[in-house]
Amino acid sequence: MCGIAGFLIFDRAASASQKTLKVMTDILIHRGPDGSGYWTKGPVALGHRRLAIIDLNTGQQPMFYNEGRLCITFNGEIYNYLEIRDELLGKGYSFLTNSDTEVILAAYAEWGTDCVNHFNGMWAFALWDESNQRLFCSRDRLGEKPFYYAVTNNTFIFASELKSIFVHGVPKIINEDMLDTYLCLTYIPAPYSFYKNIYKLRPGHSLIVENGAIRDQQYWNVEFVPEKDAIKDEKQIFTTFEALFNDAVRLRMRADVPFGAFLSGGLDSSCIVAAMSKVSDLPVRTFTIGFQDKQFDERPLARLVADKFETDHRERIVVPEDLNGLIEKLAHCYDEPFGDSSALSTYLVCRMARETVTMVLTGDGGDEVLSGYTIHQGEKFTQKYQKGPLLLRNRLPSFFKLAGKVLPGTLGTIAERTNKVLAASNLDFIDRLEQKQSGLDKDLRKRLLNLQNGNFVSAAAVIDDMLLPVKSLYNFGKLNYWLTKNSLPDDILCKVDRVSMANSLETRLPFLDYRLVEFLASVSMEVKLKGYTRKHILRETLGKELPHKLMKASKKGFSVPLQMWTKGGESMGRIMEERILTVADAGLLDRQAITQLLLRAKNGNTGLDNSLWVLGMLGQVLRNN
């Protein structure tokens, strides 16, 4: 796990500046505190910051191969590098190191740009092919590792993080077309960034830069099998899943440094720990954070798992004082607006884990591949609900809306939720998906964007564009495509990568082994989501080994008590208000609408905490600019 940066000047007679390369690379020292490397030759420059995990003594980069004709800067891990190495040894290749980096170089020498189809891992790399005067860049299938790039002044520039692009001299020009999308999704989806002329390489894609041109090629995609053709044999599914999962965990435990696992108290991370415990000679080191508010505190559940599998368990409780300066740190981590508030708790658990280990396994990705979100349940309900009489479907939401206003207490709350579910089920898929995103609701966004007089690129249009490749797919397949290809890499994986690397910690995600992802994309919805039970496959396999109390617990994840922390008058509340007013001062959003929103929050209106956080993080990024 490392940081990479570099550039290629399209003029072959030009000489790349090593001074510029060093500044670009060293600003990423948090991603690689164990070493650095800088290489320039003519118009090309490759830089590297190293976090040593495998082959601690001979894995330095940039690394050369084939008598120096190939050179690479690489971020990530190729988990099956030993198997590929053996295959290449059989073909007559030789190796000077025990690193996965050298395996990538030899694989390229053998298979060319098709080498990425042989890798099982996470990666972002740039490989210079001297013989062909070609820069080959690639990002892993699911997007675990980041790759930003820009073209300016006849130069192709790339890096692990935006800050490196900026110090090269690319200007920070806000892409206002992404405002509504950010406010809706709470992140900026690839290939876009928050800045004009700077892009994210999409997961499963490579770039070939040669002869002054850039060619984007997709080398992998996940194909969601139509329900009529999907695998439905539960015995076969359970056997195949368990074998693939255990192998994914085994491969990700290859390391030459101390490692452990995040343990949130949820199903996914608990199954990771269970699988690790089977093959580890030593107690697995586990890390949990908790909160004083019991509603968000999963420490008791995590302890059940830690006790059962006899882990070396560490936990820490988060108090408001831990948040001092964290808003500024998070904005610096992401370099662009990122409004997923669970980044707070993820940052803190990464900081705690790094005190004793250099790498952890996490349960991220389990919800996406195993149908673990409530939105999966909602989509399945919608599929059935829309088969009902139209007259009834038109009237039911109004009935429950009225009931929510007149019924007391819990009954009223249940009626209000039912109204929202039924109303959403009457929408078309794009509108329903937009409504269920975690950002601001559509009406509030329209008021905030009033300065644009409605002339802005809508989030719905961006979502629609992202789903064009699966326009003819059934709705449940479209949902899984959206989660896997968009919200997973640009929200979940982006969140984990930036805050883990800010703490010089590597994270590995067994649920995102591409073999597992491809297999589960071929499994019937009726098995993944049996009835309305989420993660049925996991529950019926590894879940059987977990404490019964955990299996019955409601889903929490690394959610945080945001409402308490952003409460008006508290220190965090004041900080967030200052940041939100920065957005108004910048003229990006309507000041009157912002003032009204803050007033509602001060008057005790509930349910605004997430909106305040999303806007506050936007304001903090603007301050950093």
Cα–Cα distance measured from residue 47 to residue 126, given in angstroms and rounded to the nearest whole number: 10
Cα–Cα distance measured from residue 564 to residue 544, given in angstroms and rounded to the nearest whole number: 36
3-state secondary structure 39-88: EEECCEEEEEEECCCCCCCCCCCCEEECCCCEEEEEEEEECCHHHHHHHH
Mean pLDDT confidence for 306-310: 97
Only one residue has tokens 């295959």, namely: 87
Counting Cβ atoms within 10 Å, is residue 453 exposed (0-12), middle (13-18) or buried (19+)? Answer: exposed
Nearest one of 507, 496, 78 to 259, comparing CA atoms: 507
User: Does position 453 have pLDDT exceeding 80, yes or no?
Assistant: no
The three-class DSSP label of residue 8 is strand
Mean pLDDT confidence for 315-322: 83
User: Does position 321 have pLDDT exceeding 60, yes or no?
Assistant: yes
Only one residue has tokens 């919200």, namely: 487
Q: Give the residue extent of every domain in the chain.
A: 2-218, 227-289+301-314+336-371+478-552
In the residue annotation, 71 being an active-site residue is answered as no
- Phi-psi domain of 169 (left: phi exceeds 0; alpha: psi -120 through 50; beta: other): left
Question: What's the mean pLDDT when you consider all of the chain?
Answer: 93
**Band of residue 455 on the pLDDT scale cut at 50, 70, 90:** low
Cα–Cα distance measured from residue 225 to residue 340, given in angstroms and rounded to the nearest whole number: 31
Which one of the listed residues 2, 137, 184, 271 is annotated catalytic? Answer: 2
User: Does position 607 have pLDDT exceeding 90, yes or no?
Assistant: no
Cα–Cα distance measured from residue 145 to residue 196, given in angstroms and rounded to the nearest whole number: 22
Starting at the earlier edge strand, list the strands of the sheet with 506-508.
312-318, 285-291, 259-262, 359-361, 506-508
Task: Please report the pLDDT score of residue 575 as a whole number.
Answer: 82
For 2-218, CATH gives: 3.60.20.10
Cα–Cα distance measured from residue 136 to residue 580, given in angstroms and rounded to the nearest whole number: 41
User: Does position 595 have pLDDT exceeding 80, yes or no?
Assistant: yes
**Cα–Cα distances in Å, from 338 out to 301, 420, 490, 499?**
29, 27, 10, 12
The percent of residues in the chain predicted with pLDDT above 70, rounded, is 96
pLDDT in tens, 195-237: 999 999 999 999 999 999 999 999 999 999 999 999 999 999 9
pLDDT in tens, 364-391: 999 999 999 999 999 999 988 888 888 8
More confident residue, 613 or 265: 613
CATH superfamily of 227-289+301-314+336-371+478-552: HUPs (3.40.50.620)
